[in-house]
Each structure stands twice: as structure tokens, then as C-alpha cells.
Amino acid sequence: MKQAKSSLLCAAVDVSAQELVVAVASEPGGPPLVQSHVNTASGHRALLRQLTAKAEHVRVAMESTGVYGLSLALRLQADPRVEVMVINPRAVKDFLRAGMKRAKTDKVDALGILDYLRRMPFAAWTPPASDVLALQAITRRLTQLKGEATREQNRLHAIEQVPSMTKVIGRDLRLNLAHLQCTLSWAFGVSDQRAGHCAQKRAASVKRTACAAQRT
């Protein structure tokens, strides 16, 4: 006989670069079930199938972990059966400390996030607009490129202090620095375009809100 779905299922995910440790609330009075999935697109699909097979409505909590958890949050939130809450890691840490839970493992973190989800008011996460997500990604890439350019400049400076160092290395460093500068110029241009588009959309939204307020 096919088991009936429950009306609401609560789950929590501890996110790392490679793995998702998932704690799922079981039947009342039973211990939570803990398992893991790979932090890839296929792992996200498997997790979504697992959760939605158990209940008609799912609430998932996870900490704000930047790029490692963003794809999962977007994938889950896109399903109308799932609500996502993204929690500030400091809030979870304080919550666990208040409950005298000090061990630091992925399993403990997932169970702590699940406990937070079940005890604290639920606040549904609203994903950023696509333009904002693109701007954030470009900004992260700019930061990476600037850091790499600084490291290459430091290497070049070190090479120039030792006459015995081969000129081939210095030539390669200069070529890479020139390439990085070109890429940075392009990325800055794209970033400015995206930022301008986002500002225009925000201004239009504020104008619409103001006009609606005047009509009422």
C-alpha cells in the first residue's frame, strides 16, 4: 500500500563546497533522518525528489553560505511545493550556543539548523533578481582578477630583484599581467553596464510605487 504524503515536511541543509548534509524531520517523536548528497546539479535534483516525495509542502532551512548554497536555494525555491529560509550563520551559532550544543560537525550543524527551523518563526527567502545575481557574480570575478594581478605583480617584483633569474619567467609574468589588465577592463565595463541597468530598474520601481501611492 502506497504511503500517504504528510502535509508539511521540515528539512535543513548544511552546505559545503562538495557535500550537502541534510537533516529531515521524521514522524512526531522520532529522531531526524540525516543523509548526504553531492553539491552538484544532480545532487540538488535528487534532494528535491526525496523531499517532495514525502510531503505536499516542504520547508527547507539553510545557512547563507554564498556561492556554495546559492544554486541549491534557487533550485529549491523554484519549485512551488518548497519554501526556503536562508539564515544568517551567526543566528544559528547563537541558537546552538544557547542550547549548549558546541560540537562542530556537519551532522550537528544540520540538526541545529533543523531545530532552528522548527522553533523559530519562518521567514521565506526571496531570491535576488537575475540582474543582481549577474552583478554579484561579476563583482566576485573582479575581486578574483584583482587578487591574481596583485600576486603576479609581486612575483614580477621578486624576479627583478635577482639578476640570475631567467628572463623567460619575467616575460611570461608581464604577458599574464597584460592579459589580466585587459580582462579587468572588460569586466569593469560589464559591471558598470549591469549596475546602471539595476539602478534604472530600481528607479522605475520607486516611481511606480510613488504613482500608486498618489492615486490612493
Digitized pLDDT (tens) for each residue of the chain, 216 residues in all: 455 566 889 999 999 989 999 999 876 656 899 999 999 999 999 999 999 998 889 999 999 877 788 889 999 999 999 999 999 989 988 888 887 666 567 788 899 999 999 999 999 998 877 776 776 677 777 888 888 889 988 988 888 887 666 778 888 888 888 888 888 777 777 666 655 555 565 555 544 555 555 555
Cell of 197: 541597468
pLDDT computed for residue 1 by the predictor: 44
Q: Measure the CA–CA gap between 57 and 79, rounded to whole angstroms.
A: 10
- Residue 172 contacts by C-beta under 8 Å, 6 or more apart in sequence? none
Q: Measure the CA–CA gap between 93 and 99, rounded to whole angstroms.
A: 10
List Cα–Cα distances, 160 to 15, 31, 154, 157, 176, in angstroms.
Answer: 44, 63, 10, 5, 16
pLDDT computed for residue 125 by the predictor: 92
Q: Measure the CA–CA gap between 60 and 82, rounded to whole angstroms.
A: 7
Phi, psi for residue 161 in degrees, rounded to 5: -85, -10
CA atoms within 13 A on the CB side of 102: 1
Amino acid, single-letter form, for residue 210: A
CA atoms within 13 A on the CB side of 132: 8
Cell of 42: 544532480
Phi, psi for residue 89 in degrees, rounded to 5: -55, -30
At the topology level of CATH, where does 9-119 sit? Nucleotidyltransferase; domain 5 (3.30.420)
CA atoms within 13 A on the CB side of 115: 18
Q: Encode 85-100: b = buried (16+ Cβ within 10 Å), e = exposed.
A: bbbeeeebeebbeeee
pLDDT computed for residue 10 by the predictor: 93
